[in-house]
């Protein structure tokens, strides 16, 4: 059970770090460009957990 919680925590933190770096990169890229472009971040996130008690 502890190993599964560690795995879930690691996966969620990896996703958060990836989204944060993409957001920062997007802001830097838009700030440095001459033309003003709108960029959006659209994603669909689905997680299903199934816990079985024995």
SS3 content of the chain, % helix, strand, coil (to 5): 55, 0, 45
Question: Can you give the pTM of this predicted structure?
Answer: 0.50
Asked if residue 16 has pLDDT above 60, the reply is yes
Greater confidence (10 vs 53) lies with: 10
Each residue's pLDDT tens digit, 18-54 = 999 998 988 888 776 555 455 566 666 676 767 676 6
pLDDT for the residue 34: 53
Whether the CB-CB separation of 10 and 17 falls below 8 Å is answered with no
Greater confidence (50 vs 16) lies with: 16
């Amino acid at each position: 059970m502890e190993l599964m919680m560690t795995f879930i925590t690691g996966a969620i933190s990896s996703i958060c770090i990836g989204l944060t770096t993409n957001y920062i990169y997007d802001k830097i890229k838009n700030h440095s460009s001459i033309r003003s472009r709108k960029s959006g971040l659209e994603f669909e996130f689905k997680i299903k957990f199934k816990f079985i008690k024995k």
